[in-house]
Structure 1
């Protein structure tokens, strides 16, 4: 399973926001130039292969990324699109020991959601990470399946 704390580290590694400004869950008094990593609700039935769960090789983690930047629209938009481009141009991904062979962006670009009560511009990126259900010990195991 992909855990938010591990996904948070992946976002930190992009270097857009400082480590202490990338958070999961609720953060009261959000600092400017922050990115929040949240689970996103999904609907529909679970995807289970014929033969049951033991025959199901992948699962999906539904995410929402909140880019809470500053009071300058252009800088906030730049930060959101920088994150968007880094996610979109990812060509291989392993979070912890979990291979993620597919990133599905659920919006055509970062979505402007206006400002918070303090006038800080915010953008949202929705994405799904489709990942292997079983963690792999090495790259060789990932590509031999």
Structure 2
């Protein structure tokens, strides 16, 4: 299984935000220039191959990334685009002990979701990590 903590570590390693500013779960008093890594809900039926689960060779981990940057929309958009492009161009990825077959970006670009209560611009990226079982 590919865990959210392992994905957080991978995202922090991309160097868009400092390691201490990449978090999972809820973080009160978010720091500027931070990235949140969240599990994304799945819908639809379970994917069970013929012959049962022992014949399943991959699984999918849907993730939502929240780029919470600063009060300048152009800088915030640039940071979100940098993260997006790093994931768009990844090759031969292993996270922890898990081989990643591919990353499926679920949005054509980072999605502007406006500002938080403090005027900090935020962008969201939805991504599916397709990994070896």
TM-score bucket (shorter structure) = over 0.9
- TM-score, length of structure 2 as denominator length: 0.98
Cα separation, 1, equivalents of 2:67 and 2:119: 14
Partner of 1:12: 12
Count residues with an aligned counterpart: 133
Q: Which one has the largest radius of gyration?
A: 1
Structure 1 residue 48: Cα displacement: 1.4
Cα separation, 2, equivalents of 1:58 and 1:101: 8
Mapped pair 1:129 → 2:129: yes
Structure 1 residue 10: Cα displacement: 0.5
SS in 1 for 2:5: helix
Partner of 2:113: 113
Cα separation, 1, equivalents of 2:92 and 2:64: 20
Partner of 2:67: 67
Cα separation, 1, equivalents of 2:64 and 2:81: 15
Cα separation, 2, equivalents of 1:103 and 1:19: 21
Cα separation, 2, equivalents of 1:10 and 1:75: 22
Cα separation, 2, equivalents of 1:83 and 1:16: 6
Judge which range, 46-55 or 56-65, deviates more.
Answer: 46-55
Structure 1 residue 46: Cα displacement: 1.3
List runs of 5+ in structure 1 lacking aligned partners: 134-145
Displacement over 3 Å in runs of 4+:
none
Cα separation, 2, equivalents of 1:113 and 1:92: 31
Structure 1 residue 62: Cα displacement: 0.5
Cα separation, 2, equivalents of 1:70 and 1:92: 32
